[in-house]
Structure 1
Amino acid sequence: MSVGSPLSPREGEVPINFAQGMTYRQIARKSGITTNTVDTCLRRVRDKVGAVNSADLIRFAITREDAPN
C-alpha cells in the first residue's frame, strides 16, 4: 500500500492511534477533535492509501516507517 497524496500530520497520527486500539472517542479527546472528524480523517486516509477495510488501514499504520514502536 502506498500513499497517493501526502498525508497531513493529523492523517498520519489518527490511523496510528486507531491501530493501537483507541476508540474514535479516545482519539477525538487526545487530538482535540470531534468523533466525526476522526471518521472523516480515517476515510480520507483509506482513500489515499487504497485501503478497503479497517484491517488494511491498520496494516498501513503499523508498517509506516515513521510509526512509533
Structure 2
Amino acid sequence: MDRPEHVEAQLVGGPSDAPATATIGRHDEIDRIKIIHLGGYEHFEREAGTDTTAPVYRWTMRTKIAE
C-alpha cells in the first residue's frame, strides 16, 4: 500500500482563532512546524509518541514576521 505524500496534523494550543489542523509533508522526522497567522508565526512541536499518519503538534510560541 502506498503512503500518502501529505498528512493532516492536529494543532493543539495557541490562539483560539489559529487553525486546528495543518497539512504537512509526509516526513516522519518533522519535529517542529510553524504556521503563518495574523502577521506572525505560530510555532508547534511534535508530541512524543504520536502516530506518523496522524501527528499531534503542541503550540510553543509566537514570533513576528521580520520586515
Q: Same fold (TM over 0.5)?
A: no
Structure with more of its chain in strand, by fraction:
2
Structure with more of its chain in helix, by fraction:
1
Structure 2-normalised TM-score?
0.24
Structure 1-normalised TM-score?
0.24
Higher relative contact order (CA 8 A, sep 6+): 1
Larger radius of gyration: 2
